[in-house]
Amino acid sequence: MTEHQHPKGDLPASTAIRQEQLPASPRLTMPAILQRARARHSYEEFFEARISNPHTRRAYKLTVDRFLDWCDRQGAELATITPAMCGRFRDQIQGSAATKKRALAALRRFFDLLTERHFCLVNPARSTTNVQERVEEGKTPELPPKDVRQLFASIDETTVVGLRDRAILAVMAATGCRVGAVAKLRIGSFSYQGGQWHLRLSEKNAKTRTVPVRHDLQQLVLAYLHAAGIADHPHDHAMFRTAQGRTGHLTPYCPEEHNDVGERVAPERGALGPDEMRQMLKRRLVDAGLGRRVVTHSAPDARGRSRTRVRYESDYSPHSFRVMVATDLLAQGKDIHDVAYLLGHSSTRTTQVYDRNKRKVSRNLVESIRVHLGTEVLPPDEE
């Protein structure tokens, strides 16, 4: 045995990892059909080792669990699942073609692992045909620039909450980033480099990019940071904070806490998440006259009391800013590769789906059809 070899189980102290240092992880709930096949290790390997994105992990686990429970109700075992069963499950899925494609992708990846581990002879989902869909244009409506101006004009700039909301919406409108990237912004994400301010955005699929900040966006972000008193806070603290009810004050930020062995003992508190940003946008759109305020009342309880619920609805969403940015830049003749980089797209085909300029061409074409429908057509200025 050379000096670089060590007996089994006897590693140097510099490289050995003590078992008690490994953070404990709760065991995943597993369908009964896998328990009977004793495939827990493969199940945990797939969801905890092979998928790093938490959103993908949650969506794939929901699909895999539903499919295996459905197979269990059909009286099948893990080794007897057939492509026909995958096809019938695909046809029963309620949703768009993209939803069915995602479900099949989850099953294919999962059964690839089971085939490697010899729980299945072949992958039953591999030969199941995908749903055919060709997307020429996305469904998300564009938020026109005039509506953006109306939205910003309705926000009260005298409160720190108003300055916060205006800065959040301005980041989406001036960079075209996703709402999830805005929620991930830290104080250090807004930095001064080479004579100009920049935003470092962390998008999905572990993509990061640095976007120059235009002058008006720079003023809005700096106004919020100074009004909130967090401009000199640690660089790893969240940039956008939650509000304390209707007091007009922001919640103190507390980063997540870990113990000596790396286990998280307290979650992050005070950071504004993407879901809260979506709700904020809905409220702001309603205040700007670009949405609807819906009030519903529940049935009275035994004491005759009913609960009132207020819901804010609008056709626009945070993604509408991305559509607006892509449509506006492409209408100006900007290079589509530059627009794709700004939006964080790996392919320009995805950027083309965001382009709404085709709708204007289609409207001009249908107006040119020489057929009379028997109704009076109003001039454009009277519509």
- Could you tell me if 201 and 322 are in contact, meaning their C-beta atoms sit under 8 angstroms apart? no
Residue-level pLDDT at 96: 83
- Could you tell me if 182 and 168 are in contact, meaning their C-beta atoms sit under 8 angstroms apart? yes
Question: For residue 376, what is the DSSP state?
Answer: P
Residue-level pLDDT at 16: 43
Q: Where are the domains of the chain?
A: 26-116, 137-256+266-298+308-383
Interior CA angle at 28 toward 88 and 75, to 5°? 35
Strand stretches in 171-248, DSSP E: 190-193, 196-202, 208-212
Q: Measure the CA–CA gap between 198 and 212, rounded to whole angstroms.
A: 4
Report the 10 Å Cβ neighbour count for 258.
12
The three-state (H, E, C) secondary structure of 10-43, written as one string = CCCCCCCCCHHHCCCCCCCCCCHHHHHHCCHHHH
User: Could you give phi then psi for residue 95, rounded to 5 degrees?
Assistant: 150, -170
Residue-level pLDDT at 44: 94
Tell how many helices (H) and how many strands (E) occur in the chain.
Answer: 14, 7
Residues of the chain with pLDDT below 70 are 1-27, 133-137, 359-363, 372, 374-383
Residue-level pLDDT at 377: 56
Residue-level pLDDT at 19: 42
Task: Name the nearest CA neighbour of 324 among 346, 278, 355, 291.
Answer: 355
Q: Measure the CA–CA gap between 352 and 226, rounded to whole angstroms.
A: 39
Helix (H, G, I), strand (E, B) or coil at 148: helix
- Could you tell me if 292 and 310 are in contact, meaning their C-beta atoms sit under 8 angstroms apart? no
Question: What's the pTM value of the predicted model, to 2 decimals?
Answer: 0.74
Q: Measure the CA–CA gap between 179 and 83, rounded to whole angstroms.
A: 38
CATH class of 137-256+266-298+308-383: mainly alpha
- Could you tell me if 197 and 218 are in contact, meaning their C-beta atoms sit under 8 angstroms apart? yes
Task: Name the nearest CA neighbour of 228 among 245, 253, 255.
Answer: 253
